[in-house]
Amino acid sequence: MAKARTTSRRVLTTLAAVTLAGSLALPSDADPSSRAAAGAHGASAWANATLRRMSLEEKVGQLFVTYAYGSGADSRHPKNQEEFGVDTPAEVVRRYHLGGVIYFSWTESFVDPKQVAGLSNGLQRAALTSGAGVPLLVSTDQEHGVVTRFGAPATQFPGSMALGASRSVDDARGAARIAGAELRAVGINQNYAPVADVNTNPANPVIGVRSFSSDPGLAAEMVAAQVRGYEGEGSPRRGVSATIKHFPGHGDTNVDSHSGLPVIHHDREQWRRLDAPPFRAAIAQGVDMIMSGHLVVPGLDDSQEPATVSPKVLTGILREELGFRGVVITDSLQMDAVRARYPDAELAVRALLAGADQLLMPQNLRAAYDGVLAAVRSGRLSERRIDDSVRRVLTVKFNRGIPHQPFVDETAVDRVVGTREHLAAAQEITDRTLTALRNDDGLLPLRTKPGRVLVTGWGESATKVLTERISARGVATTRKTTGPKPSPTAIGDAVAAARDHDLTVVLTHQAWDDSQQQDLVRELAHSGKPVITVAVRDPYDAAYVDQARTWLVTYSYGSPAMESLAKVLFGESSPRGKLPVTVPEPGRPDTPRFPFGHGLSW
């Protein structure tokens, strides 16, 4: 009981100090410039006061962000013992004095919204009752579209390239504002979004539709809008920290940095023209955080070091040339692009020496944590250098209002997450993104309802939802999912079914890199029945099967996208999206098949 009272007093003392500093930050009668100055003073005062009472071990802990397994803070999970030497997520936070945690479905972090809120509150209690009592940055990758961690009933928005197709800055900002509010309601105060990479390489296996555009100007406008939306514009404590990625730009590569080391062959002037604009735009908006990419850009650093461990890139360009003053966090340190080069301890130290402030998901957290401590004690890293990074982390936490309000109301989650208003807004935004690339036979919109429709192709969930949406319009609909790389037997079965229906809708997913999906579409086009082909991810699919004469692009395969598709099929709405990338001829990247800005309407 005495220990509990001591812990409680420590938390109250910490929060009282924070509230005092916060009162300096937000005088109610000040003009905006005075409020900004007071806020900066309050953040600095709190960060410096907090730093003074922190041990070296606690400071180093603030530099690490990792996951933990379990749906509750005190949930025991064998993988926590295996990876971290403790049993529960709360113990991971306390043992390493973590600066942040990250949520994934595979760590059981996302079960339902109230559970997420309870997990967040429990982890914040663990942080506040441990060491210096500094609350956590709680994060996830909620890019929307193909990278969505917090699923339904949370509101699902179209991904970046879909928003780029809409050309609507207001939609980009509005989607981020709503998404940020829902994240904050469950205790997630940082989002690893938006993606600032300019997808200039159609063969990019890891970015693609996660990018807003192949045009630097359009990408910059959308990134800036989403930063404003996520970070709350005039009410920053209601928003979440945006984290743009992957600096200095992951758009022009055909290598996935999860499994290999991409090399970007842009010289400095090309980089400034093609890759830098979205990062500049985000910095101008005051973005809280920037994530480094595990990629080599010889035109920026001829040492062949990945950007994550390159002082020339993180300090020389990001800090000095672009003037970024926020937090630099690495991409996951478990990725082969960097882990194959250095052991975990050395990788962590080199990233900090390069200019990173936080280290995301080292494969061996204990080795990385101990490696940084050893580097400080040996003099390789100065404690002042550690203090600089911790101060930036603390400043972001203060400005985002996390020390003032580390907990969320678990009973209020349903009043924010997935509300009718949010879902309606998401559907309206999605309706403005669908793009029509071909309608050579004038098949669309369907002027009379077909008797029987076959839905086939990629995606168990997407084909199921689309089947439901078409059936809801009074049309007999059959589903036959063939998935990725359909076998000759699956293709034959789909073609036979198509001949027994009046219309076929076939979904493709990265068919530009899947000859078997291309074969499916080609054979369906020869079935003698009308076929509508829909790329539910990359628009590049549409260049690969000439025989398919009706092509639509949804850019994502979530339920709102399938509803938008059904509306366009039946003429309830017209496709309004315009290509935010150029779709080139196969094997001829400089020859457009469908140019930037192309899009049919009716």
In eight-state DSSP terms, residue 405 is -
List phi, psi (to 5°) of 507: -100, 135
Least Cα distance to 545 among 512, 500, 594 occurs for 512
Tokens encoding 578: 């315009």
Q: Please check whether residue 592 is in contact with residue 584, taking contact to mean a CB–CB distance below 8 angstroms.
A: yes
Q: 């005190």: which residue's tokens?
A: 74
- My answer on whether omega of the bond before 248 falls inside 30° of 0, hence cis, is yes
Q: Please check whether residue 282 is in contact with residue 197, taking contact to mean a CB–CB distance below 8 angstroms.
A: no
- Verify whether residue 256 is a known catalytic residue: no
Q: 């990247």: which residue's tokens?
A: 589
Burial of 561 (0-12, 13-18, 19+ CB in 10 A): buried
Tokens encoding 270: 């090309």
By residue count, the chain amounts to: 602
Q: Are strands 531-535 and 550-553 parallel, antiparallel or unpaired?
A: parallel
Q: Which helix (H) or strand (E) holds 503?
A: strand 503-508
Q: How many CB atoms lie within 10 A of CB 410?
A: 17
- Verify whether residue 331 is a known catalytic residue: yes
Q: Please check whether residue 563 is in contact with residue 554, taking contact to mean a CB–CB distance below 8 angstroms.
A: no
In eight-state DSSP terms, residue 231 is T
Least Cα distance to 96 among 397, 454, 348 occurs for 348
Q: 């924070």: which residue's tokens?
A: 18
In the set 112, 258, 387, 519, the catalytic residue is: 258
Q: Please check whether residue 309 is in contact with residue 296, taking contact to mean a CB–CB distance below 8 angstroms.
A: no
Q: Please check whether residue 230 is in contact with residue 239, taking contact to mean a CB–CB distance below 8 angstroms.
A: yes
Dmax over CA atoms of the chain, in Å, equals 81
In the set 141, 301, 331, 538, the catalytic residue is: 331
**What's the helix, strand, coil split of the chain in %, to 5?**
45, 15, 40
Active-site amino acid positions:
258, 331
